[in-house]
């Protein structure tokens, strides 16, 4: 009975005590720390990257694999591409679909929405001054041809039945193959403006992929 009690106490101590690997300096002001925590569900490794608030010499920016929404790439490879212009430390930012590498949540770069928020998840954002924002947000878009306004229910997503989806250059070289669809190419606007309307001459093609020539800024 004494032995059983001792084993139970030992396991409890293992479950609650984190194992620290120490903090390593990566560059002035930026450090990395790895922690191993034992929980009732198994060991959990926590990677911690500490850095100053954005501003001055430091900036925090999202980076896409392969510089497009499609495709997968290791964080190390992405850092190697970015280090030509700055000293870089990076972490995984979001979940993604394994087959295509599409972000599963909201992505906004320089005020331009490139992937919509997930309807059942909160969205995390960090402002230029380092403030942390977590909230449930939604996308609202509309489009109009020669008739009334209609709902735009997709952004860089394959449209569902009777759906309308907008594809921008960040999607990749061409829109996905689809049947039974009408595709319209809008000339790229010359400037971005939040809450703005984007207009231009269009070309309509049917049942074939076309270059993703639309650029849009959505609040």
pLDDT (tens digit per residue) in 68-112: 888 888 888 988 888 888 888 888 777 888 888 888 888 888 778
Domains contained in the chain, number: 2
Asked if residue 59 belongs to a domain, the reply is: no
Asked if residue 69 belongs to a domain, the reply is: no
CA 185 to chain centre: 25
Asked if residue 95 belongs to a domain, the reply is: no
Cβ proximity of 18 and 37 under 8 Å: yes
- How many CB atoms neighbour CB 64 within 10 A? 19
Weakly modelled stretches of the chain, pLDDT under 50? 1-17, 192, 206-207, 210-219
The three-state secondary structure class of 4 is helix
Asked if residue 183 belongs to a domain, the reply is: yes
| Range of the structural domain that residue 163 is part of | 140-219
Backbone φ, ψ for residue 68 (5° rounding): -150, 165
Ordered alpha helix ranges (H), the chain: 2-16, 75-82
Task: Pick the last residue of a domain from 19, 36, 51.
Answer: 51
Cβ proximity of 102 and 69 under 8 Å: yes
In this predicted structure, what is the pLDDT of residue 33?
92
Rounded-to-integer distance, Cα 94 and Cα 195, Å: 26
In this predicted structure, what is the pLDDT of residue 206?
47
Tell me what the pLDDT averaged over the chain comes to. 75
Asked if residue 71 belongs to a domain, the reply is: no
Label the pairing between strands 18-27 and 142-143: unpaired
In this predicted structure, what is the pLDDT of residue 160?
74
Asked if residue 217 belongs to a domain, the reply is: yes
Asked if residue 114 belongs to a domain, the reply is: no
Asked if residue 60 belongs to a domain, the reply is: no
In this predicted structure, what is the pLDDT of residue 110?
78
- How many CB atoms neighbour CB 216 within 10 A? 21
Cβ proximity of 133 and 127 under 8 Å: yes
């Amino acid at each position: 009975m004494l032995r059983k009690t001792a084993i139970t106490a030992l396991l409890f101590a293992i479950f609650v005590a984190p194992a620290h690997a120490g903090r390593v300096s990566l560059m002035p002001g930026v450090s990395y720390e790895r922690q191993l925590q034992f929980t009732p569900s198994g060991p959990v490794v926590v990677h911690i990257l500490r850095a100053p608030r954005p501003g001055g010499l430091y900036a925090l920016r999202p980076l896409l694999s392969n510089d497009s929404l499609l495709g997968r790439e290791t964080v190390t490879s992405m850092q190697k591409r970015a280090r030509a212009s700055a000293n870089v430390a990076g972490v995984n930012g979001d979940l993604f679909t394994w087959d295509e590498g599409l972000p599963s949540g909201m992505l906004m770069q320089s005020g331009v929405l490139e992937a919509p928020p997930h309807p059942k998840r909160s969205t995390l954002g960090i402002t230029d001054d380092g403030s942390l924002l977590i909230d449930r947000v939604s996308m609202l878009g509309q489009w109009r041809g020669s008739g009334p306004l209609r709902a735009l229910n997709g952004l860089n997503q394959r449209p569902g039945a009777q759906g309308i989806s907008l594809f921008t250059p960040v999607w990749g070289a061409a829109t996905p193959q689809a049947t039974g669809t009408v595709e319209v190419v809008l000339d790229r606007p010359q400037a971005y403006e939040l809450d703005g309307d984007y207009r231009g001459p269009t070309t309509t093609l049917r049942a074939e992929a076309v270059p993703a020539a639309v650029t849009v800024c959505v609040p």
